[in-house]
Structure 1
């Protein structure tokens, strides 16, 4: 019954029942003494200058509130552990000791024990699925004799080289010429309107250069090239710090994951940094990488313009790609963002123990 009706509705029903019961008792008492117009007694009879009806309403409300507290305590005692296990399961903490802990046996919570058993079974199956996803992701997928990663890496190298050799160089040359024109404009005392227009053009080219740097960062090779995930992230951030005017903070520790999973996480970090530089207009950026219990936690936080997470925009392709990558390795992604208050992205990947996972069944 409690599961189907809300606590508030049950308390309301208790209050109404109490009120009607008190009215019925009063009516029976007055009827036994042959007192007509019993309803006038409720209004005209006063205790401490307050009508009797008010006391009846207070008593009914008190019983309803008491019922609400009792139901809340009962539900917390019976369903509290179940709710906590479901939260952990939704967050990807499949190996949490609380999920694996069995609820004590008793006659009154047999239904809860059944739910608890189903939750533990779901946790076990989701853990197995995460391991299978990570194993599948770690195996090379061949296309015409080449892995998909090799094809993408070659194409990214080509695009990055062409962009750097053409567009990036042209933007740099345009910036140099504009700097000279701006200095000459100041010396020749050109009208303020023309100087403002030159400044606007300079700002546009500056923004284009930042966009180009973000694109080149996005097109870098997806492989860590023998480095650990921590080393790759730190090298990426140090290189970014030398090229972009942004306050960077990071705290990364060594984590042990299959090579394919680390490559995917490294690529996700690249895409998140690229998205931040291109869209967030952030002045500060923080990156954290830690292992907590049986999960690797990656967090990227910026103080940029933020966005409405409930709206799907055409420019959200990058986030869609990140979601697919994280889902492909059995992880979870949580995005918290508010307009004008920045964005926080939290990625959690379970560390699944896979003995003989790479033996191909031999």
Structure 2
């Protein structure tokens, strides 16, 4: 479409310039067409004057079309830059501070409409954050209290039943391996026992991840930084994985911090259950206008564009939680190259002081 528009601009400019030149020549000739035609046929530097007229018209048309295209491209880039920041939720990006640049490139009306849209989105973010901080009461209990009780119940049942059965199966396999080793050390059954032990070990790791996800559902009086560190330290004692973290001591509303903590839980659970990662990095930063949580692993990765991806349900929960705080969640992943999840939550004075 850009090439079509450029060609059309070039055609219009060329026709306009040729008509202008012919009009000027007719005015000079004052009705003497023969004289004008003879003038155009005169040779100058080895070429008729008409050739220079057409070449000059072409050159001017190219300059006019290129200038028009460059201006249109500049306007398009300025508009795209601002719309992409709005779409990504970067409502306090430095580009919005250059209002004069927007008015020059896009015009006063368009620049004012974009600024009005940005201010409206900021107000909506704050309203969403305030709403998420308000507890939803059902039958005398808040929704979060009901979910917490249900999580604890599921964790107890899984630990008392499935985890114990897996442990018992591993013990019986160990005893069976000892008996087989004593009687027939070269028995082919040993390979099958090893395979079964590997399956049970994977099931136990999956169960630990589930229990870790279900049990710590609140910060319980800790700051967000303290809660995440405690969660990561507990993870290190149960799973063989190298963990690195850099956490700022951010301060949000209690509901926002609790939601971010649960997002960390969800991300860790996805990593343990699906990523098969060897290293995990967790970052929490305060960027004045927003809080950024970033979790990176070196696991198997996946294609985010593919539907029904393993772990996609957990990622959809993370996106929903981020949106409930007026924020955004961005997932970057490639097969066999790991996954990076960045959650950005707006930080406003009204919310942070609640």
Normalising to structure 2: TM-score of the pair? 0.80
Report the CA distance shift for 1:284/1:314 in structure 2 as closer, same or farther (over 3 A).
closer
State yes or no: 1:156 paired with 2:159.
no
Q: What does 1:268-279 align with in structure 2 at a 5 Å threshold?
A: 268-279=263-274
Report the CA distance shift for 1:170/1:67 in structure 2 as closer, same or farther (over 3 A).
farther
Paired position in structure 2 for 1:338: 334
Paired position in structure 1 for 2:285: 290
SS in 2 for 1:354: helix
RMSD of aligned C-alpha atoms? 3.4
Retained in 2: the 8 A contact 1:93–1:294?
no
Using the alignment, how far apart are the partners of 2:332 and 2:83 within structure 1?
21
Report the CA distance shift for 1:14/1:179 in structure 2 as closer, same or farther (over 3 A).
same
Structure 2 gaps of 5+ residues are: 17-36, 39-53
SS in 2 for 1:180: helix
Deviations 1:165-202 (A, max 9, x none): 2211221222122223234433422433x222111101
Paired position in structure 2 for 1:323: 319
Using the alignment, how far apart are the partners of 1:160 and 1:265 within structure 2?
21
Shift of 1:15: 7.0
Q: What does 1:32-43 align with in structure 2 at a 5 Å threshold?
A: none
Report the CA distance shift for 1:90/1:314 in structure 2 as closer, same or farther (over 3 A).
closer
Paired position in structure 1 for 2:223: 228
State yes or no: 1:203 paired with 2:195.
no
Deviations 1:140-185 (A, max 9, x none): 1110000111111111111111111221122122212222323443
Retained in 2: the 8 A contact 1:290–1:297?
yes
Report the CA distance shift for 1:297/1:204 in structure 2 as closer, same or farther (over 3 A).
same
1:354 to 337, 344, 350: 350
Retained in 2: the 8 A contact 1:332–1:349?
yes
Report the CA distance shift for 1:105/1:210 in structure 2 as closer, same or farther (over 3 A).
closer
1:83 to 80, 91, 94: 80
Structure 1 range deviating more: 155-164 or 9-18: 9-18
Report the CA distance shift for 1:98/1:88 in structure 2 as closer, same or farther (over 3 A).
same
Using the alignment, how far apart are the partners of 1:284 and 1:14 within structure 2?
56
Retained in 2: the 8 A contact 1:88–1:99?
no
Aligned length: 321
Using the alignment, how far apart are the partners of 1:143 and 1:337 within structure 2?
39
Retained in 2: the 8 A contact 1:7–1:71?
no
Report the CA distance shift for 1:177/1:76 in structure 2 as closer, same or farther (over 3 A).
same
Normalising to structure 1: TM-score of the pair? 0.78
Paired position in structure 1 for 2:34: none
Higher helix share: 2
State yes or no: 1:216 paired with 2:217.
no
Shift of 1:243: 0.5
SS in 2 for 1:297: strand
SS in 1 for 2:281: strand
Paired position in structure 2 for 1:103: 100
